[in-house]
Structure 1
Amino acid sequence: MSDKPLRQARELLLKEYRGVLSTHSKSMPGFPFGSVVPYCLDAQGNPLILISRIAQHTHNLQRDPKCSLLVGEREAEDVQAVGRLTVLAEARPLSDPQAVEAAAQRYYRFFPDSQNYHSAHDFDFWVLEPVRHRYIGGFGAIHWLDDVTLANPFAGKAEASMVEHMNADHAKAIAHYVELAGLPAKAAAQMAGVDSEGLHLRIGQALYWLAFEKPCNTPVQVREALVSLAHADRWPTIEQIEA
Structure 2
Amino acid sequence: MSKSANRQARALLLKEYRGVLSTHSKSMPGYPFGSVVPYCLDDEGRPLILISRIAQHTHNLQLDGKCSLLVGERGAEDVHAVGRVTLMAEAEKITDGVRIEAAAQRYYRYFPESESYHSAHDFDFWVLKPVRYRYIGGFGAIHWLDNVALANPFAGPAEISMVEHMNDDHTKAIAHYVELAGLPATPPAVLVGIDSEGMHLRIGHSLYWLAFAEPCNTPTQVRQALVQLAHAEKWPALEQVEA
- Report the TM-score, using the length of structure 2 for normalisation: 0.98
| Distance (whole Å) between structure 2 residues aligned to residue 161 and residue 109 of structure 1 | 13
Q: What amino acid sits opposite 2:157 in the alignment?
A: K
Alpha-carbon deviations, 1:134-175, whole Å to 9, x = none? 000111111000010000000000001100110011000000
Shift in Å at residue 25 of structure 1? 0.4
Q: Which residue of 2 aligns with 1:212?
A: 212
Q: Which residue of 1 aligns with 2:223?
A: 223
Q: Which residue of 2 aligns with 1:64?
A: 64
- Report the TM-score, using the length of structure 1 for normalisation: 0.98
Verify: 1:31 aligned to 2:31, yes or no: yes
| 1:28-107 alignment runs, 5 A limit | 28-107=28-107
Q: What amino acid sits opposite 1:97 in the alignment?
A: G
Shift in Å at residue 213 of structure 1? 0.9
| Distance (whole Å) between structure 1 residues aligned to residue 203 and residue 37 of structure 2 | 19
| Distance (whole Å) between structure 1 residues aligned to residue 112 and residue 29 of structure 2 | 36
Q: Which residue of 1 aligns with 2:16?
A: 16
Q: Which residue of 2 aligns with 1:191?
A: 191
Q: Which residue of 1 aligns with 2:152?
A: 152
| Distance (whole Å) between structure 2 residues aligned to residue 205 and residue 42 of structure 1 | 19
| Distance (whole Å) between structure 1 residues aligned to residue 122 and residue 230 of structure 2 | 42
Query: Cα RMSD between the aligned structures?
Result: 0.9
| Distance (whole Å) between structure 1 residues aligned to residue 98 and residue 62 of structure 2 | 22
| Distance (whole Å) between structure 2 residues aligned to residue 237 and residue 75 of structure 1 | 23
| Distance (whole Å) between structure 1 residues aligned to residue 147 and residue 6 of structure 2 | 8
Moved over 3 A (4+): none
Shift in Å at residue 236 of structure 1? 1.4
| Distance (whole Å) between structure 1 residues aligned to residue 234 and residue 93 of structure 2 | 42
Q: What amino acid sits opposite 1:242 in the alignment?
A: Q
| Distance (whole Å) between structure 1 residues aligned to residue 2 and residue 30 of structure 2 | 37
Alpha-carbon deviations, 1:172-209, whole Å to 9, x = none? 00000000000011200000100000000000000000
Unaligned residue ranges in structure 2 (runs of 5+): none
Unaligned residue ranges in structure 1 (runs of 5+): none
